[in-house]
Amino acid sequence: MDSTQWDERYSTSELIWTGQANQFVERHLADLAPGTAIDLGAGEGRNAVWLAQRGWSVTAVDFSQVGLDKALRLAAEHDVTITVERGDATTWSPPGSVDLVVLSYLQLPQAQQRIVVEHAASWLAPGGTVFVIAHDRSNVTDGYGGPPSADVCYTVSDTVDALAGLDVTTAEIAERRVDTPDGVRVALDTLVIARRPT
């Protein structure tokens, strides 16, 4: 989907995703000392706002201005400040190094996935963390929801390969429980977390 399609998708007054941070973001980043963070492909800003609530100085980047406007609204509702920047995740870069980059369901075609993960790694200050959560390719056949196209889904091994030089602390297919009208279903996510050595 291009930015116009995402703008259209976000053009409802309600959030199309939840306002609550992703469960793996909450689980794995809660104890990280706050610093500067980039939420790349931030959408309506649920993860950016959660980080800001914990003292992070967050820049939310997305190519959908409509999504970013909703992120600013969500931040205001939670009495926190975030910075938003409209940009393409495959070409945007921050002015300096950062302590955390979050990629949360930034489902790009495979060749672009490698570019964004490599870029994210290159922005990290020593000791900085890159956090990747995305629909896993196995989800297409074995999991619930998510994109039907395997090309825009991630794999743990490709993601780890793109993080050469970093210390990988988590690399797994994570099971995400989803409440549906038909009961609890399981979605399969690529979850990779890595740190730049100090």
Ligand X SMILES: C[S@@+](CC[C@H](N)C(=O)[O-])C[C@H]1O[C@@H](n2cnc3c(N)ncnc32)[C@H](O)[C@@H]1O
What residues make contact with ligand X under the rule CB under 6 A? 6, 17, 22, 41-43, 46-47, 62-64, 67, 88-90, 104-106, 108
Q: Measured from the CB atom, is 113 or 155 closer to ligand X?
A: 113
Strands 167-180 and 183-195: antiparallel
Q: How far is the CB of 169 from ligand X (least distance, A)?
A: 21
Measured from the CB of residue 193, what is the shortest distance to ligand X in angstroms?
A: 16
> What is the smallest separation between the CB atom of 197 and ligand X, expressed in angstroms?
27
Q: For residues 17 and 144, which CB has a smaller minimum distance to ligand X in the complex?
A: 17
CB of 14 vs ligand X, minimal distance in Å: 14
How does strand 183-195 pair with strand 36-40?
unpaired
- Shortest distance, CB of residue 126 to ligand X, whole angstroms? 26
Q: Which is nearer to ligand X, 61 or 194 (CB)?
A: 61
CB of 136 within 8 A of CB of 173?
yes
Query: DSSP letter string over the chain?
Result: --HHHHHHHT-SSS-SS-SSPPHHHHHHHTTSPP-EEEEET-TT-HHHHHHHHTT-EEEEEES-HHHHHHHHHHHHHTT---EEEE--TTT---SS-EEEEEEES----HHHHHHHHHHHHHTEEEEEEEEEEEEBTTHHHHSSSS-S-GGGSB-HHHHHHTTTTSEEEEEEEEEEEEEETTEEEEEEEEEEEEE---
The nearest distance, CB 198 to ligand X, in angstroms, is 28
User: 104 or 159, CB closer to ligand X?
Assistant: 104
- Closest residue to bound ligand X by CB: 43
Q: Which is nearer to ligand X, 108 or 188 (CB)?
A: 108
Of 6 and 156, CB closest to ligand X: 6
Residue type, 153: C
